[in-house]
Structure 1
């Protein structure tokens, strides 16, 4: 299976989620199932059905997170030596050529992308347009409203 790139912060976030699923969520759902069983007839017990469904979701998510961590290629952005090039893990400061608005994004793995935290997926259109470019270059991004141009102001590895 191919390795999936993940930053150190993204890997730590997945590890914390896995720990919570195994130590908090799984025991809670097991207790909920036991409680629902104590109510008697399981054929018409909605609490039991809901708890079993929740258990299935938790077990599925545990397997999914374990798989992602097993196949992760963990990258420390501070150790990158890309000579100022936009690469996975880089933090890129951009200026929208139309509006003049300046924004800073970090290029991260798909599981850790969160636009509210200014983290964009390496497979997103904007990240694909940035990869391989340097400060001073213009990146053309195919957006839903047409092509947008961004000037790369700065590339940092933090």
Structure 2
């Protein structure tokens, strides 16, 4: 993979917390469970042992995945960037659908942080791509399967 992947400060903190939890709590619990299962004798037919080994595989895989994401991340703290009114990575944007007058708020985040339920959209999503570089008051057209939808940028915030 060439280049760094953008990540918000909050996204990095969540990954670091999960990594600490995996390494300091879950990993030792799994090791203890494997040791206890070994004490029960024949490992071939020991379901507890096999379940603990499978859990260990998932845990170690997730640890490697998180470490890789953190190593490849370019952490951007949007609160430290001068507020220009332009939409950039990490900003929170209020947009108004000009057809329906519905207003929605999104934060533009990295792919791994995107979560529509929490109004976080990937920088690679069609809406974010249309918004990046634009300013408050601009009208953008987002291409959807049903055609173009016009949105006005009501406010850009650095939260």
Give a deviation string over 1:8-55, Cα, whole Å, max 9, x none.
Answer: 111111110000000111011111111222222111222211111110
Whole-angstrom CA distance in 2 between matches of 1:147 and 1:39? 64
Which residue in 1 is equivalent to 2:39?
Answer: 38
Alignment of 1:49-128 (within 5 A): 49-81=50-82, 83-128=84-129
2:17 counterpart of 1:19: no
SS in 1 for 2:12: helix
Compared with structure 1, are the counterparts of its residues 142 and 46 closer, same or farther at alpha carbon in structure 2 (3 Å cutoff)? farther
Q: Normalising by structure 2, what TM-score? A: 0.92
Aligned-residue CA RMSD (Å): 1.4
Question: Structure 1 residue 82: deviation in Å?
Answer: 5.8
Take 1:127 and 1:49, find their aligned partners in 2: how far apart are those partners?
45
Q: Which moved more, 1:52-61 or 1:114-123?
A: 114-123
TM (norm. structure 1) is 0.92
Query: Which sits farther off after the overlay, 78-87 or 104-113?
Result: 78-87
Distance 1:16 1:145 in 2: 41
4+ residue segments displaced more than 3 Å: none
Q: For 1:93 and 1:113, how far apart are their aligned partners in 2?
A: 17
Gap runs ≥5 in structure 2: none
Using the alignment, how far apart are the partners of 2:40 and 2:142 within structure 1?
Answer: 58
Distance 1:80 1:68 in 2: 23
Distance 2:98 2:14 in 1: 34
**Cα distance change of structure 1 residues 37 and 146 upon mapping to structure 2, 3 Å threshold:** farther
Q: Tell me the secondary structure at the aligned position of residue 106 of structure 2.
A: strand
2:137 paired residue number: 136
Q: 1:40 to 1:5 in 2, by over 3 A?
A: same
